[in-house]
Amino acid sequence: MGATTLHWVNGEVEVHKVVVGPYDNNVFVVRCRATGDAVLVDAANEHEQLLELCRRLGVRRVLETHGHWDHIQAVPAIREAGYEVAVTKLDAPKLADVGYDAFLDDAEVIEVGRLRLDAIHNPGHTPGSISFHVRDTPLLFSGDTLFPGGPGNTSFPDADFATIIRSIEERLFTFPDETIVLPGHGVDTTIGTERPHLDEWIARGW
């Protein structure tokens, strides 16, 4: 594994990325270079690989962007290894079978060493979907809310297209064009790349 997991870096932050499971879920580690403290975003699958990543990179806790099963398969093994798993209260019922330890709230500030992550509640894909912006960087972890080419899937029973569009427009498209969007599946994009297409997405209805 080693440095091959390094996805983005500056003087203060390292972002590591692995792709796991049958749905090619992105799992990210956000690490403070000054202190070595880190968080893992979405314990999706392949728990042995994720545990090795956690140990190597100084992960202290796990943040779940939402509760869909493909994003939580590694949670039991991660918790058994002693890591706290946090999720929004609205999506916590989806983790009933795997467990969780703490709630994440909208506008919560998550301390990772000297880094600060701002939690952004953006419902629509699920009622409790949440994104994370690393303060003073262009990094925005969007879970399954925003992808290259449009919003996440809203065909689930508790999903809603109008809600996800409102979340994207009011909570994510307020960031500068150069903001890098790191989604739950697939490749990165930027706010500036996606913002001009909002009306097209609304017109097509997905």
pLDDT at 2 over 80: no
Q: How far is CA 140 from CA 3, 41, 92, 113, 191, in A?
A: 22, 12, 22, 18, 9
166 has a pLDDT exceeding 70: yes
- Residue whose structure tokens are 């398969």: 73
Mean pLDDT, the chain, whole residue set:
97
Assign 60 to helix, strand or coil. strand
What domains lie within the chain, and their CATH numbers?
2-204 (3.60.15.10)
Q: Count Cα neighbours of 195 within 13 Å in the Cβ-side half-sphere.
A: 16
pLDDT at 1 over 50: no
Residue 63, pLDDT score: 98
Q: Is the pTM higher than 0.75?
A: yes
Three-state SS string over 153-176 comes to CCCCCCCCHHHHHHHHHHHHCCCC
